[in-house]
Amino acid sequence: MSKALGVDIGGTGIKAAIVDVETGELVSERLKLATPAGGEPDAIVKTVVELIDKLGGLEDGVPVGVCFPAIVRNGRTMSAANVSKKWIGLEAEKLFEKALGRDIHFVNDADAAGYAEVRYGAAKGVPGLVLLTTLGTGIGSALIYNGVLIPNSELGHLELWGRDAERRAAYSAKERGRLSWKAWAKRLQKYYTHLESLFSPDLFVVGGGVSKNYQEFFPLLHLQTPIVPAVHRNNAGILGAAALAAQPAPPA
């Protein structure tokens, strides 16, 4: 068994578990602590260390993956969603590595979720381009081509209706406008048709809490691309971060 530790940092909670990266199964309990109020860097790092200590600490040689709600470029957080703006431009990967005393793999949370679906979930064994979108407060996205992650796609920020698409098509827009499934599906239709025209994907995977109600809106969509609900909603970030951490290092 090949193991890795995955940490999923969110705006309200931080989750962690040890993963069998061959099967995608958790081999420890999944622990969760509240994200510190304000979401400042030092407080979040301290909480991650506390969470890992509760899991029994770090075993020698076990890779560590951490996913975070931000654009991640060369280990630096270039945005901040539902956490302190102090993360913007911060060398976050180095901050975690110093606290943990080892190298980690640091990745955007939607990218980790998408990779989990390709390795262990709804898109396992699907060749070509898989496009995952998470429909929640905003729209997160991940692009994976033949198993290779293309990071930081941020497709919720494509412009439609004269504004970021997520302002009209995220699940929060349905709730905010008290839209029926049919009315919301019309917005999703425009959004996913636009994605089809740009990327010609081989599969759409839809995550986020609303994906458990996929039967309410999938039948209302008329797309050329197959569309399926995500499998690993709550554990996706942990699984994807762990799996990416366990990948062999690229040649120097």
> What are the pLDDT digits (tens) for 166-186?
999 999 999 999 999 999 999
pLDDT for the residue 250: 58
Q: Does residue 252 surpass a pLDDT of 60?
A: no
Contact 30, 15 (CB under 8 A): yes
CATH class label, 3-108? alpha beta
Fold match, 3-108 / 122-229: yes
**What are residue 226's phi and psi, to 5 degrees?**
-60, 145
- Measured distance CA(24)–CA(1) in Å, rounded: 11
- Measured distance CA(79)–CA(81) in Å, rounded: 7
pTM score, whole prediction? 0.91
Alpha-carbon separation of residue 109 from 176, 178, 217 (angstroms) = 24, 28, 25
CATH class label, 122-229? alpha beta
Q: Does residue 251 surpass a pLDDT of 70?
A: no
Boundaries of every domain in the chain: 3-108, 122-229
- pLDDT, tens only, 47-82: 999 999 999 878 878 999 999 999 999 999 999 877
